[in-house]
């Protein structure tokens, strides 16, 4: 699997107040779902995104950051055999850690493509943004 995804994507809560992202639960779940995932926490206050996750497994590869106030995920890299479909499923999985009462958006790094990730969103809806 070569590195063929150059555009970063962001999943973020539109209104950061009372964000309920549970990093401890997320850490447990990601280690269970992706054994061997690397987690690095930056203690430096200058880092807006302070928790980095990296995984290079047989079925997929990814790198992403979670911001300090736990309201955004920056996905720098994702790859797999069925990349776009798997990436859309992965985005839905990441989105599930934010309350469905909150408006959560998916956008590319230039904010050219934006999609509301509402409860029950379909993989096909996300594929339109990723393609």
Tokens of 91: 């985005």
Rounded Cα gap, residues 106 and 123, in angstroms: 13
Residue 104 has pLDDT above 90, yes or no: yes
Rounded Cα gap, residues 32 and 126, in angstroms: 25
CB 63 within 8 Å of CB 52: yes
Classify 131 as helix, strand or coil. coil
108-126 tens-digit pLDDT = 998 899 999 999 999 999 9
Q: What is the mean pLDDT of residues 7-14?
A: 91
Of all residues in the chain, the percent with pLDDT exceeding 90 is 76
Residue 112 is given by DSSP the state S
Rounded Cα gap, residues 3 and 76, in angstroms: 11
Rounded Cα gap, residues 88 and 26, in angstroms: 18
CB 104 within 8 Å of CB 92: no
Q: Write down the pLDDT at residue 53.
A: 98
Q: What is the pTM of this model?
A: 0.90
65-88 tens-digit pLDDT = 999 999 999 999 999 999 999 999
Residue 14 has pLDDT above 90, yes or no: no
41-51 tens-digit pLDDT = 998 888 899 99
Q: Write down the pLDDT at residue 6.
A: 57
Residue linked to tokens 């964000």: 19
Tokens of 63: 């790198």
Classify 31 as helix, strand or coil. helix
């Amino acid at each position: 699997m070569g590195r063929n995804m150059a555009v970063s994507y962001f999943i973020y809560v539109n209104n950061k107040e009372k964000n309920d992202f549970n990093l401890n639960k997320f850490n447990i779940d990601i280690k269970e779902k992706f054994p061997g995932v690397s987690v690095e926490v930056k203690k430096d206050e200058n880092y807006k995104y302070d928790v980095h996750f990296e995984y290079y497994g047989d079925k997929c590869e990814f790198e992403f950051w979670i911001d300090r106030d736990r309201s955004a995920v920056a996905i720098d890299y994702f790859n797999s055999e069925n990349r776009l479909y798997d990436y859309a499923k992965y985005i839905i999985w990441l989105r599930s850690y934010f309350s469905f009462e909150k408006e959560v958006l998916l956008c590319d790094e230039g904010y050219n493509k934006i999609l509301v990730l509402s409860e029950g969103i379909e993989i096909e809806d996300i594929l339109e943004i990723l393609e």
